[in-house]
Copies of this chain bind each other. A is one copy, B any other.
Amino acid sequence: MDFLRSFPIWEKLQPEEREQLAQAAVYREAPKGAMIHNSPMDCLGLLFVQSGQLRAYILSDEGREITIYRLLEGDICLLSASCAMNSLRFDIAIEAEKDSGFWVVPSEIYKGLMARSAPLANYTNEIMASRFSDVMWLMEQVMWKSMDQRLAAFLLEEAALEGTGVLPITHERIGNHMGTAREVVTRMLRYFQSEGLVKLARGTVEIVDFAGLQALSEK
């Protein structure tokens, strides 16, 4: 419950609003790989991540995926509370990328709090603006960058998240993050290996030349 008090605008909420939030919030855990939110019907609520790592992504009709953003400790996910906002006309899936713990505030409770509290509504605006910015960044990557630039950037992001250059990740999983086919990833990783940027082994991609990948991602 102490963690809940680290909710960013806790101090700006009225005592009764804090109490309502604290009473409504439910702590949940999800093991690595678990699906947390999937269908548009399943309006889970606002998520406030205490530990671990969540991944928000979209799915095509054919089952292709692209990662929209990641949620780390202290991050808030609004899109899992889409029924709290009439104008959110899209749906995302959310899975646990690591063993994770998070608080869920039911959509209806959050919506009610927001309707009365200008600070909470303004803070919610900021969260939405931040996610919107993530998606615009992704849009620019997808539109203007080549696949090798995007793959280089993805590997560096993974290394930063994992704290190591030896990434335990399959080519298929990379394809699901980037919205592309496994074969495309494999072909490009082999090219990266021939250029001395990475070393491939079963189930891992090891970054050998961080500076080289950095230069490629920014070219």
Interface residues of A (CB under 8 A from B): 58, 60-62, 64, 66, 85-90, 114-118, 121-122, 124-133, 135-140, 142-144, 179
Contacts and interface: CB of A to CB of B under 8 A. Distances in A.
B60 A126 contact: no
A88 to B, nearest CB: 5
Contact of A129 (B88, B138, B143): B88
Nearest to A92: B136
A110 B132 CA distance: 20
A202 B60 CA distance: 37
A86 B142 contact: no
A64 B142 CA distance: 13
21 contacts: A58-B136, A60-B140, A85-B126, A86-B126, A87-B126, A87-B127, A87-B130, A90-B136, A90-B140, A114-B118, A115-B122, A118-B118, A121-B121, A125-B128, A128-B128, A131-B132, A132-B132, A132-B135, A138-B139, A139-B142, A142-B143
